[in-house]
Amino acid sequence: MIHLFVFGFGVFVYAAIRILTGCLYTVSPDQRAVITSFGAATVMPGSQAPGMTDESSMSTEEQERYRYPQVQVIGPGGPYFKFPWQRVHKVSVATQAVDLSWDPTKAQDTIEAVTKDNLTTGVNGQIRYRISEQNLYAYLFGVASPLEHVMGYFVSVLRERIANFTDPKGQTLLSNDELDQADGNSTAASSLDLSEGVSINDLRKNLPLLNQYMEQQCQSTTGRYGIELDAALITEIDPPAQVDRALSAINSTRNQVAADISTARADSEQQITMSARAVEIATNNAQAEVAPLQELASTLSTIKNEGGSDCLSAYVRNAKIPLYKRAGRIVQSANQRS
């Protein structure tokens, strides 16, 4: 009887220790925890998770669909105590990164998207995200696999954007002055046309704009799935190999055409500069030859006006004397003698 009592007491002590150790838990600094009792979490009375009333990112119908309550969140620390029938749900709130091609249902190295000119291309990159501490209900209990939903939503928005993407430099990013200048200058218009027309090239040139657009469009993931998108890092947009070679040839040809246009423009500007310089030199030479004659005419007019014709004749005669000394032979006509 005593042995049976001791055995039962030992079993009781062992069970008590196991239960007590199982009822203690800790939460690390990068984690947050939610306690559920028989599957139900403690809801903060009168509270609503943030992000669901953001009218700029969610429609009214979506706000009603994703109306989640705000649950009680346990911060880092411990040890904490819970009852045996309670369950601790721990989540990491640290910023994490996942490849764009990540899909738990299939293995793939890249995701495919169709451009505006009906060209299938591969897209690679990463998204950086963190779990929203203010909307843990949506992350833990809203959907079965919130990260998978976020990736599906992100890829859908990305494919829609790639399918309708056009280079903004040809439309809204250019100022009116630049557009007017391009219209009035045929060379500038030709250069503008050279940078447009192929969706792959437009997408590659505007990756920062594409990432910015994705970040803006995915702001609603906080209210939908409890995951806050921190940054979209799309780094590669690669078409099939054959198309890539054709695009490289097109780009090389366009670069060569642009270089030829620049060379021709520089040559023409140089010729114009040289012609203007030649005209300036000829003008200066003519002015140098005319200036002494104009000065002499002015002097003769002054002498005649002040001293009369006799004074002018005397001046002319005196001016001829140095010439007579330098001349080797003098021819005098009959009219001059008279």
> Which of the two residues, 187 and 208, has the higher pLDDT score?
208
Position 187 pLDDT exceeds 50: no
pTM for this prediction: 0.60
Nearest residue to 156 (alpha-carbon basis) of 104, 203, 96, 221:
221
What is the pLDDT confidence band of residue 186, given thresholds at 50, 70 and 90? very low
Per residue in 3-32, pLDDT (tens digit) is 777 777 787 787 777 777 778 889 999 899
> Which of the two residues, 137 and 247, has the higher pLDDT score?
137
Position 179 pLDDT exceeds 60: no
Q: How far apart are CA 310 and CA 52, in angstroms?
A: 112
Window from 46-55, 203-212, 268-277 with minimum mean pLDDT: 46-55
Q: Are 78 and 88 in contact (CB under 8 A)?
A: no
Return the percentage of the chain with pLDDT > 70, whole number: 86
Per residue in 135-161, pLDDT (tens digit) is 888 889 888 888 888 888 899 989 998
- Is the alpha carbon torsion for 162, 168, 172, 173 positive or negative? positive
Per residue in 276-305, pLDDT (tens digit) is 999 999 999 999 999 999 998 998 899 888
User: So what's the pLDDT on residue 277?
Assistant: 95
User: So what's the pLDDT on residue 276?
Assistant: 95
User: So what's the pLDDT on residue 174?
Assistant: 43
Cis peptide bond upstream of 239, omega within 30 = no
User: So what's the pLDDT on residue 82?
Assistant: 86
The predicted model gives 194-201 an average pLDDT of: 62
Query: What is the number of other CB atoms lying within 10 angstroms of the CB of residue 258?
Result: 14
Beta strand spans in 82-187 (E)? 86-92, 96-99, 111-114, 120-131
Burial class (CB in 10 A: 0-12, 13-18, 19+), 63: middle
The predicted model gives 33-51 an average pLDDT of: 78
Q: Are 151 and 224 in contact (CB under 8 A)?
A: no
Instruction: Share the mean pLDDT of the chain.
Output: 81
CATH class assigned to 1-15+25-173+198-239: alpha beta
User: So what's the pLDDT on residue 53?
Assistant: 47
The predicted model gives 312-338 an average pLDDT of: 80
> Which of the two residues, 281 and 186, has the higher pLDDT score?
281
Q: How far apart are CA 186 and CA 183, in angstroms?
A: 7
User: So what's the pLDDT on residue 210?
Assistant: 86
Beta strand spans in 48-179 (E)? 77-81, 86-92, 96-99, 111-114, 120-131
Query: Any idea where the domains of the chain sit in the sequence?
Result: 1-15+25-173+198-239, 260-330
Q: Are 189 and 260 in contact (CB under 8 A)?
A: no
Q: How far apart are CA 233 and CA 158, in angstroms?
A: 12
User: So what's the pLDDT on residue 7?
Assistant: 76
113 beta partners: 121
